[in-house]
Amino acid sequence: GAGVSQSPSNKVTEKGKDVELRCDPISGHTALYWYRQSLGQGLEFLIYFQGNSAPDKSGLPSDRFSAERTGGSVSTLTIQRTQQEDSAVYLCASRIGRTPHIYFGEGSWLTVV
């Protein structure tokens, strides 16, 4: 498809397990953002990638969270030793450079039990 693709769309995991969430941005989009949205809440910035520049990781809530972006395209957000408070929707967005229009994926719904 032509949009931002995220997988899995839903993930239920046991507390303490590691999870990986994937984002496939729109082809040619150099900028990629990850956000977390807890139930009924706003969007919390996690990390931002722009081309080959060093990512802005200032929003990652703890060292259990990490993200990488391979080849300037697909990004993976990894959460180690998941906790119940990690339960949320993780949203990915992408755009071309600094152009105004940002496109969001459908999100990955993570539930930690």
Partner 1 sequence: ELKVEQNPLFLSMQEGKNYTIYCNYSTTSDRLYWYRQDPGKSLESLFVLLSNGAVKQEGRLMASLDTKARLSTLHITAAVHDLSATYFCAGQLRDDKIIFGKGTRLHILP
By the rule CB under 8 A, 58 interacts with partner 1: yes
d(CA 36, CA 59) in angstroms, rounded, equals 10
Q: Among residues 87, 105, 107, which one has the least CA distance to residue 17?
A: 87
- Contact positions with partner 1 (CB under 8 A) in 61-80: none
d(CA 56, CA 13) in angstroms, rounded, equals 27
Among 10, 41, 66, 78, contact with partner 1 (rule: CB under 8 A) = 41
Nearest distance, CB of residue 42 and partner 1, angstroms: 4
Nearest distance, CB of residue 16 and partner 1, angstroms: 28
Q: What is the dihedral of CA 26, 73, 86, 62, to 10 degrees?
A: -140
Q: Please report, as ranges, the residues that interact with partner 1 according to CB under 8 A.
A: 31, 33, 35, 41-45, 48, 50, 56, 58-59, 91, 93, 98, 100-107
